[in-house]
Amino acid sequence: MQLVTRIDEVKKLVRELRRQGKTIGLVPTMGYLHEGHLTLMRRAKAEQDVVVATVFVNPLQFGPSEDFAVYPRDLDRDSRLAAAAGVDVLFAPPVEEMYPRGYENMLAFVDVRRVTERLCGASRPGHFRGVATVVTKLFNIVEPDAAYFGQKDAQQVVVIRTMVRDLNMNVRIVTVPIVREPDGLAMSSRNVYLAPAERQAALVLSRALKLAKEKLDAGERSAATLIAAMRELISREPLATIDYISVSDAETLEELDTVRAPALVALAVKIGKTRLIDNLLWEETQHVSHAF
């Protein structure tokens, strides 16, 4: 595996690979890799000739009071894990390489409307503008055939698919199901922030979704009833503060009164100071696709 930090270097590498007729899969990450990321990388490796993964903690998608400065970073460990997962090129640019005039001085952005306005977009103003802009930069740098994203960030996937469709971007978006710890917690780099009691409390997210799944499987179709049941379960955990619980159309992210597939049951909950997200994609034919 080659570790590269400069845009011109990675461009040169992919130009040569493309000249050889190789297909390229891109796996964008913010690093501090876990099994969720490694699953994306293995999937990309199974489907493409070459995998380019990126490790970049993007300041443009963090709010001023968010955790950019303390976000976990360990490039040596990430390099070993990425190489073992089959990554061919690991692109890990410093902030100055991606934003040479400073990210605060950027003049051009990619803004996606509507699907960015609710859920995480409402609690993290500017977040999806930062994501769409940096993902566009990565697409322009690597020019991948396909790019791989995790369903854990369900709204991010909708935003990126919308951007690619509306702007005719030449890349196929592949979504990979959520990878969980054995007790149900969705894997996340931010899980390292959790103290032992908080780690236990964090199980309320997946438990609330499991409850929603049971109710859906039993025929419940009222979004308000599902949300009330999840809210009640989470409110019994003193370390948890609900940011949002939502039942929406999985493609438009418009809130639903009556559940119809495909629906996205999504939530964001603060456990102590750590904000965690999780979701359940409900598809009528197979009911819930992901096991708890």
Ligand X SMILES: CC(C)(CO)[C@@H](O)C(=O)[O-]
Binding site for ligand BAL (CB under 6 A): 30, 61, 153
**Cα(216)–Cα(162) distance, integer angstroms:** 28
Structure tokens at 85: 């997962």
> In which residue are the tokens 């809130």 written?
255
**Burial tier of 14 (Cβ tally within 10 Å: 0-12, 13-18, 19+):** buried
SS3 76: helix
Which of the listed partners (ligand X, ligand ATP, ligand BAL, none) does 135 bind, with a CB threshold of 5 to 8 Å by partner kind?
ligand X
Helix (H) or strand (E) holding 226: helix 223-235
- The runs of H, that is alpha helices, within 144-282 are 154-166, 196-201, 203-217, 223-235
Using rule CB under 6 A, residue 207 touches ligand ATP: no
- Is 86 annotated in a binding site? The answer is no
The answer to whether 287 is annotated as binding is no
208 φ/ψ angles, rounded to the nearest 5 degrees: -65, -40
Q: Is 190 assigned a ligand-binding role in the annotation?
A: yes
Q: Nearest distance from residue 128's CB to ligand X, in Å? A: 9
Question: Of 48, 61, 188, 248, which one interacts with ligand X (CB under 6 A)?
Answer: 61
CB nearer to ligand ATP: pick between 36 and 130: 36
Residue 176 interacts with ligand ATP (CB under 6 A): yes or no: yes
| Residue of 18, 20, 21, 55 lying closest to 40 (CA atoms) | 55
Q: Output the smallest distance, CB 272 to ligand X, in A.
A: 22
Q: Which of 24, 30, 245, 259 binds ligand X (CB under 6 A)?
A: 30
β-partners of residue 268 are 244, 277
Q: Tell whether 150 is in a known binding site.
A: yes
Q: How many residues of this chain bind ligand ATP (CB under 6 A)?
A: 17
Q: Is 127 a catalytic residue?
A: no
**Interface with ligand ATP in residues 35-74 (CB under 6 A):** 36-37, 40
Rg value, the chain, Cα: 19
Closest CA to 71 of 187, 190, 199, 198: 190
Asked if 186 interacts with ligand ATP (CB under 6 A), we say yes
Residue 120 binds ligand ATP, judged by CB under 6 A: no
Would you please indicate which residues are annotated as catalytic (active-site) residues? 37
**Residue ranges for the binding site for ATP?**
30-37, 150-153, 179, 187-190
Residues that bind ligand X (CB under 6 A): 28-30, 58, 61, 131, 134-135, 153, 156
